[in-house]
Amino acid sequence: MEVAKFVATPEGTALAYGSLVFMALLPIFFGALRSVSCGKSKNSSDMPETITGRDAARFPIIASCTLFGLYLFFKIFSQEYINLLLSMYFFVLGILALSHTMSPFMNRIFPASIPIKQYQLLFTQGSGETKEEIVNYEFDTKDMICLVISTVVGVWYILKKHWIANNLFGLAFALNGVELLHLNNISTGCILLGGLFVYDVFWVFGTNVMVTVAKSFEAPIKLVFPQDLLEKGLGASQFAMLGLGDIVIPGIFIALLLRFDVSLKKNTRTYFHTSFLAYIFGLGLTIWVMHTFKHAQPALLYLVPACIGFPVVVALLKGELTEMFRHSAGATTHAGTGLGKEKKHSPNLSCQECVLA
């Protein structure tokens, strides 16, 4: 997040920062809730992907290489053509993510009088006993409607690059990330957040790479909100921004703590509420420091200690620290939440090389 060159009014600044905080909380809250039961899905594409300790340890290195590669691309090649290719790539991903995000809401409001037809998209390779499924996607009439609505938003984004369309896609990416990316245990979460803590601090304070990429990258990998909205309305152009990585990375850790709450079978959500409030505190502190020192801040510098420290202190006070670190994805399955078998996964880098800039 950064203070733009123009002088923003106090009201415009407060509205922009407050809106970014509110938007950041939405995918974390709803994504965490949906992560508890997303393993029940029949579609393989909707099954959770589990991040292992090995994935977490090497992810900051992979992310650093990707980030620096993007930086070199923007320095060597035309920014216009790079962003054109990225726009088409995220156009397709955004439609699928937004459609998946809308699906539960469509299930609730879809009129019962309209017949629902089932469809299946199946691609296989080989034949006979060697036949292997490449894509097996089941959908129905409601999913088709979600897809049409998402396509309209996608066309709007491609043609206008409007900040509202950007945010719709960004929120969908973040919610899907929190819902479908699962940490296998608390230790893995600490490794991932700790590694990205160093990654974020180095690339923001040590170089201009992170800020340069964040400003050059015209794709819905960040949430934006105009600081001049009160003066210019929906046509405003001076934005504060929040990278999706600063939402998804802490978000998947908060979602893990919610599943830990569920596994305790105590009908409480102590660790989820604690980590959620810790995220609000960390993000608020980031905004305050940025606004005070007028410099882009690595949000994970403040979010990681808060999101890990607060729940650990609570666990210590409750005498559940050992139980917390012994909790794994498999334990949640036995608790009856319906999570599927663990699958190894290296997270998609597309929404991680972001900065609160």
Residues 6+ apart with CB under 8 A from 207: none
Separation of first and last alpha carbons in the chain: 3
Higher pLDDT, 163 or 120: 163
> Which residue in the list 55, 200, 228, 261 is annotated as catalytic?
200
Give residue-wise pLDDT tens across range 95-119.
999 999 998 888 888 887 778 888 8
Cβ 1 vs Cβ 21: under 8 Å: no
Is residue 350 included in any domain, yes or no? no
Provide the number of structural domains found in the chain. 1
Q: Region 201-215: what's the mean pLDDT?
A: 87
Residue 338 banded pLDDT, cuts 50, 70, 90: very low
Is residue 42 included in any domain, yes or no? yes
Give residue-wise pLDDT tens across range 11-38.
888 999 999 999 999 999 999 999 988 7
Give residue-wise pLDDT tens across range 229-260.
888 878 777 888 898 999 999 999 999 999 99
User: Quick check: 65 pLDDT over 50?
Assistant: yes
> Which of 2, 26, 11 lies closest to 229 in space, CA to CA?
11
* Conformational region of residue 223, where left means phi above 0, alpha means psi within -120 to 50, and beta covers everything else: beta
Q: Is 111 exposed, middle or buried (0-12, 13-18, 19+ CB in 10 A)?
A: exposed
Q: Region 305-322: what's the mean pLDDT?
A: 95
> Which residue in the list 55, 143, 228, 246 is annotated as catalytic?
246
Residue 134 banded pLDDT, cuts 50, 70, 90: confident
Mean pLDDT estimate for the chain: 84
Q: Region 302-328: what's the mean pLDDT?
A: 93
Q: What Rg value do the Cα atoms of the chain yield, rounded?
A: 21
Q: Region 253-282: what's the mean pLDDT?
A: 94
Cβ neighbours of 233 (radius 10 Å): 9
3-state secondary structure of 218: coil
Q: What are phi and psi of 183, to 5 degrees?
A: -80, 140
- Which of the listed ranges 219-233, 273-287, 320-334 does the model predict with the highest average pLDDT? 273-287
Buried b (16+ CB within 10 A) or exposed e, 192-228: bbbbbbebbbebbeeeebbbbbbbebbbbbbbbbbbb
Is residue 125 included in any domain, yes or no? no
How distant, in Å, are the alpha carbons of 180, 250, 271, 283, 311 from that of 316? 29, 21, 12, 24, 9
* Conformational region of residue 2, where left means phi above 0, alpha means psi within -120 to 50, and beta covers everything else: beta
Give residue-wise pLDDT tens across range 187-197.
999 999 999 99
Q: Is 267 exposed, middle or buried (0-12, 13-18, 19+ CB in 10 A)?
A: exposed
Is residue 118 included in any domain, yes or no? no
User: To the nearest whole percent, how much of the chain has pLDDT over 70?
Assistant: 88
3-state secondary structure of 228: coil
C-alpha–C-alpha distance, residues 345 and 51, integer Å: 5
Is 200 among the residues known to form the active site? yes
Cβ 35 vs Cβ 179: under 8 Å: yes
pTM of the model: 0.83
C-alpha–C-alpha distance, residues 248 and 356, integer Å: 13
Residue 329 banded pLDDT, cuts 50, 70, 90: low
Q: What is the pLDDT of residue 46?
A: 63
Is residue 119 included in any domain, yes or no? no
Q: What is the pLDDT of residue 59?
A: 93
C-alpha–C-alpha distance, residues 234 and 320, integer Å: 49
3-state secondary structure of 9: coil
C-alpha–C-alpha distance, residues 251 and 259, integer Å: 12
Is residue 133 included in any domain, yes or no? no
Give residue-wise pLDDT tens across range 153-163.
999 999 988 99
Is residue 1 included in any domain, yes or no? no
Range of the domain at 98: 10-112+138-332
Is residue 341 included in any domain, yes or no? no
Residue 216 banded pLDDT, cuts 50, 70, 90: confident
Higher pLDDT, 285 or 335: 285
